[in-house]
Chains A and B, each alone.
Chain A
Amino acid sequence: MTDEQLMLAVKNDHLDKAAILYERYKKMLYGFFMYKNNNDKAKSDDNVQQTFYRLIKYRHTYKEESNFKVWLYSIAWNIQHNDYKQAAKLNVIPTDILPDEPYIQKDDRYDELYQAMQLLPEQHREVLVMSKFLELKYEEIAQINNCSVGVVKTRVFRALQQLRTVYFKIS
């Protein structure tokens, strides 16, 4: 069954089908939240569960012609965005690398590019993560972020430009 067919079954109260969708998407969503939450496992666990809780609770709002992947990642994006806004209010945005800090190679075990990605502006990093790790097309990312495809491509370009500077300097 396709994701859309499964989601329609969930919408018609066949909640067991939600388990299939969970198994298909849990790893990708977990990876996305780990990036967003600076490797905080407990928080990422919680965010994934929140995503599927909302998928079940708001299943009646899913439209038949909608792209399921875009719908699911929109929920995930909103959850992460709300968390970030709350953290900003409390002045506790977690990061293990300060945005203005010059790049420092901490340890061999860290992925060099991963560290460089953490230094990217939030909007640039987000589109890169969504495109590379969530395997979303630029059109789908534009839909989730409520912007045009051109804006998404410009952000990808800027992100890769910055990473290229760091990557080739390291090598």
Chain B
Amino acid sequence: MKKEEIEHLLADYASGEISANDKARLEEMFAKDPALKQEADEMEEVWQAINQPNHQPGKDMDNGFYAMLQNEKEQQKGARVVKINLTWLKTAAAVAACLAAFVIGRYTVSPEKITEYKVKTVFVKQPAIAQAIKTEDTRPVFVSRPVENKTALAPKNSEPEEHLTLAPQLRSVFASERMAAVAKLAAKADVTQNDLKMLEMVLNEDPSANVRLMVVNALQPMFAKNDVQQLFINTLGKQDDPLIQSTIVDILVEARSKQAVPQMLVLLDDKNTAPSTQTKIKTGIESFLN
């Protein structure tokens, strides 16, 4: 047994937090090493001997706390009253504005009837559409492929046709369509190298964090494959969304993927990395060492 392991067992033994199994293991060692037994018993005695001095807080501390609590309760009440007053004020102001508008309108409108109507055509500018995924490919973006021959027989190997449908869908301007395409890819019984390449492209380049997160969740069950592991390690440095970084770190730590340590250290040193992600990385690396 390693020295560190024995030290941990002794710490548990002295504090009384040792499990039955560990105690049995220690007692076996005690039988072979009386000096170890003596050390353990002495440490236990020291633990028992450490007494907490009977520090009694004074009345001043209680008074201070209750004064602070009362103050907070007053402030909270005050905030509520201000909120309620503001609500009433807003309501009163809205009612006054409506009445004023009615009165002004009632007494300023001309008594003459409108007898002539003019028709005017108004052109409204459409809002700009969302940006598509940037790729090196300069061909125009397609939403759907027109069906050329409805009576044609389905090919035996359906993968090329499936790619023709899914690849443009993964470049759709609508995130929901891209997510649907990711779901279809992930649901395939046999995910090919081409599929993995497409998913990797989406994971590295898609502007929507939700779509990228969907790819992470889709790839997680396939983590046993070396190329999927490498994909996760490579993409870690390219992700700026804290939730995605954190999810990938969790997957790598759970799988005890030590090859990911250099990339995790790079992320740890980056000041822009979220503190919660940095904490996960530190804990994960420590667990690799223990």
The interface of chain A, by Cβ under 8 A from chain B, is 13, 15-16, 18-19, 22, 26-27, 30-31, 34, 41, 44-45, 48-49, 52-53, 56-57, 111, 113-114, 117, 128, 131-133, 137-138, 146-148, 150-151, 153-154, 156-157, 160-161, 163-164, 167-168
Contact = CB atoms under 8 A, between A and B. Distances in A.
B10 A157 contact: yes
Contacts of A22: 65, 69
Interface of B: 4, 7-8, 10-12, 14-15, 17, 39, 42-43, 45-47, 49-53, 55-58, 60-62, 64-66, 68-69, 72-73, 76, 279, 282-283, 286-287, 290
A147 B286 contact: yes
A132 B52 contact: yes
Given A19-B69, A34-B53, 19 more contacts: A15-B76, A18-B69, A26-B62, A30-B55, A31-B55, A34-B55, A45-B61, A48-B61, A53-B68, A117-B50, A128-B50, A131-B15, A138-B17, A150-B290, A154-B7, A157-B7, A160-B10, A164-B39, A164-B46
B50 A132 contact: yes
A156 B15 contact: yes
A114 B52 CA distance: 9
B55 A146 contact: no
A150 B287 CA distance: 9
A111 B4 contact: no
Contacts of B17: 137-138
A150 B8 contact: yes
Contacts of B65: 22, 26, 48-49, 52
